[in-house]
């Protein structure tokens, strides 16, 4: 029997077919979970219900945590323990137990994604592919809703702004950043055929981000696009590649400007854009506006090291903190605040340390890390506490950190 015939016989064996079916089922299960993260109209969302079952099943069948994943779990558990202590300061618990239950669940999803990615880098392609499909679906709903394309389309808008299958335009816009970064990465590094294939999805995502009228999302889009081009420019010294980045970047800017000019010809779009394009809104500068609340919140956190309880700041001052660092200190106490800062800075530092290493997973890490940094920046003016996709991004970065640790261990000479 020839080697080719032997290989074909091996593939056709029952054991090989079983392994193939198990891998196919595993990828489909994970892909569906990531896809469902694009639909969070009500809570608990389908994502929560599905992922709770998926994580439980995975644990039963042998989910193993590396030391890297265990460190991530420790920081997230300490963060939520701070929330439980803070909840103990409330005379009336209200919805705090459910809120903390969601926080703990999202923490487990981050650890879950870190654990499975660190075991098998091939899952990154499944996760990113499902994320792109979910983003295109929810972005399309937001666009159709904005233009009232069918009866009941207003379900996908709020305050005249596109929000897709989300509860808030300010979450909808940032959710689209990772697939936008991934598609742009493919345009900048892939073939011409890939460029044509990715053009329509990119235009859908860009239009949805624009129609969300989220200043945070607009700023993130600029940061992600410019940052991705800069990082690829630095990483690849080839003059032809750098020329390609400059040419494609210039073309992308011109197309985006032209699209915005066309959209502004619609009176309702122009009016809302004029209002939202101001860097500082009236409600930011008022006596109890966003920035004033940051100051009051800082003073309140100093006086309450154990926290004031989840969601208690809003009823006191009329609006939430709109600052993730203050939210961590007030809703999760000093213990939660320290744990949160440690988690963010550790993710930032370890991700940066391995960002430019030539690995098969480097393109995925590059996009996830850039979007993570963008979320860190907007965390100064918005709460990202229960953003499902943010926990997914953290899990992806820690999964790549775990892959790097395994790669380094394999390279060490055996004793």
pLDDT digits (tens, 9 = 90+) for 200-246: 999 999 999 999 998 899 999 999 999 999 999 888 888 888 888 88
Is residue 80 within 8 A of residue 25, CB to CB? The reply is: no
pLDDT of residue 114: 96
Q: What is the rounded CA–CA span in Å between residue 121 and residue 327? A: 34
pLDDT of residue 7: 47
Q: How many domains does the chain have?
A: 1
**Environment class of 22 (CB within 10 Å of its CB; exposed 0-12, middle 13-18, buried 19+):** exposed
Residues 6+ apart with CB under 8 A from 238: none
pLDDT of residue 415: 47
pLDDT of residue 12: 58
Question: The domain containing residue 358 runs over which residues?
Answer: 3-411
CA-CA distances (angstroms) from residue 365 to 164, 268, 271, 311? 26, 39, 39, 33
**pLDDT category of residue 4 using cuts at 50, 70 and 90:** very low
User: What is the rounded average pLDDT of the residues 77-99?
Assistant: 93
Tell me which residue of 153, 189, 62, 40 sits closest to 116, measured CA to CA.
62
pTM greater than the 0.85 cutoff = yes
Q: What is the rounded CA–CA span in Å between residue 391 and residue 33? A: 13
pLDDT of residue 278: 61
């Amino acid at each position: 029997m020839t080697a080719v015939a032997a290989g074909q016989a091996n593939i056709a064996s029952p054991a090989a077919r079983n392994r193939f079916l198990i891998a196919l089922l595993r990828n489909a299960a994970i892909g569906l979970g990531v896809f469902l993260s694009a639909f969070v109209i009500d809570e608990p969302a389908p994502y929560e219900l599905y992922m709770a079952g998926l994580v439980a099943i995975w644990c039963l069948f042998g989910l193993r945590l590396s030391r890297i994943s265990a460190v991530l779990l420790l920081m997230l558990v300490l963060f939520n323990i701070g929330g439980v202590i803070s909840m103990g300061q409330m005379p009336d618990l209200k919805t705090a137990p459910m809120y903390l239950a969601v926080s703990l669940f999202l923490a487990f999803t981050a650890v879950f994604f870190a654990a499975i990615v660190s075991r098998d880098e091939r899952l990154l392609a499944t996760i990113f592919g499902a994320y792109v499909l979910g983003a295109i679906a929810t972005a399309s709903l937001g666009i159709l809703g904005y233009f009232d394309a069918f009866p009941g389309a207003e379900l996908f808008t709020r305050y005249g702004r596109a929000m897709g299958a989300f509860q808030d335009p300010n979450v909808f816009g940032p959710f689209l950043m990772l697939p936008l970064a991934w598609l742009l990465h493919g345009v900048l590094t892939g073939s011409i055929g890939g460029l044509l294939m990715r053009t329509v999805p990119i235009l859908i995502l860009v239009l949805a981000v624009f129609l969300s009228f989220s200043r945070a999302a607009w700023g993130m889009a600029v940061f992600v696009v410019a940052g991705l081009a800069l990082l690829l420019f630095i990483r690849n010294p080839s003059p032809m590649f750098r020329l390609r980045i400059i040419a494609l970047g210039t073309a992308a800017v011109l197309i985006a400007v032209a699209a915005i000019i066309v959209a502004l010809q619609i009176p309702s779009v122009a009016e809302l854009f004029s209002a939202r394009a101001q860097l500082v809104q009236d409600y930011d500068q008022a006596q109890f506006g966003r920035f004033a609340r940051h100051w009051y919140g800082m003073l309140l956190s100093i006086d309450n090291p154990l926290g004031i309880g989840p969601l208690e700041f809003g009823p006191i001052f009329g609006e939430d903190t709109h600052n993730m660092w203050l939210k961590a200190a007030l809703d999760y106490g000093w213990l939660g605040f320290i744990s949160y800062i440690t988690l963010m800075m550790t993710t930032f530092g370890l991700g940066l340390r391995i960002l430019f290493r030539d690995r098969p997973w480097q393109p995925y890490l590059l996009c996830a890390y850039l979007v993570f940094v963008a979320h860190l920046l907007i965390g100064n003016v918005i709460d990202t506490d229960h953003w499902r996709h943010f926990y997914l991004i953290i899990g992806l970065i820690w999964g790549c950190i775990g892959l790097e640790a395994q790669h380094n261990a394999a390279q060490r000479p055996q004793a």
